[in-house]
A = this chain, B = another copy of it.
Amino acid sequence: MNSIKLALALLLAPLFFQMANGQETGQMVRLAKLVIDSTQLEAYQVILKEEIATSVKLEPGVLTLYAVAEKANPNHITILEIYSGIEAYEKHIQTPHFLKYKDGTKHMVKSLELIATIPLIPEMKIK
């Protein structure tokens, strides 16, 4: 019996090490940086906010989509995107609400940069 426990511990050890290491929780964390056509900024924000609200409400794997506009350049938008995993992300980009956003804003987005990141403290929340 003890040898079974030992074997199990040896099998699971790398998993626990990865979790403790804080970089392999499986989460997908990304920064999306967008520049929006200034003349369409108001319309863009309406569509983006609707897409974010729907995604966070309907998709358990969309942990946050925290969007900010720069005060000095309001058409420069950054979104901190946190998904529970790559599967949640791949599901997200096939949802009707995401496809509606993507199609509805394609003529508004002047540039889009997607930056893959590693969270320093993956368990961090917003109070």
**A115 to chain B: closest residue by CB:** B70
Copies of chain A in the complex? 2
Question: Is B78 touching A121 in the complex (CB atoms < 8 A)?
Answer: no
Judged by a CB distance under 8 angstroms, whether A117 is at the interface is yes
Chain A residues 38 to 89 lying within 8 A of chain B, measured CB to CB, are 45, 48-49, 52-53, 56, 60, 62-72, 74, 77-78, 80, 82
Judged by a CB distance under 8 angstroms, whether A124 is at the interface is yes
Interface size class of A (residues with CB under 8 A): 35 or more
**A23 to chain B: closest residue by CB:** B69
Question: Is A117 touching B31 in the complex (CB atoms < 8 A)?
Answer: no
Residues of B within 8 A of A117 (CB): 68-71, 78
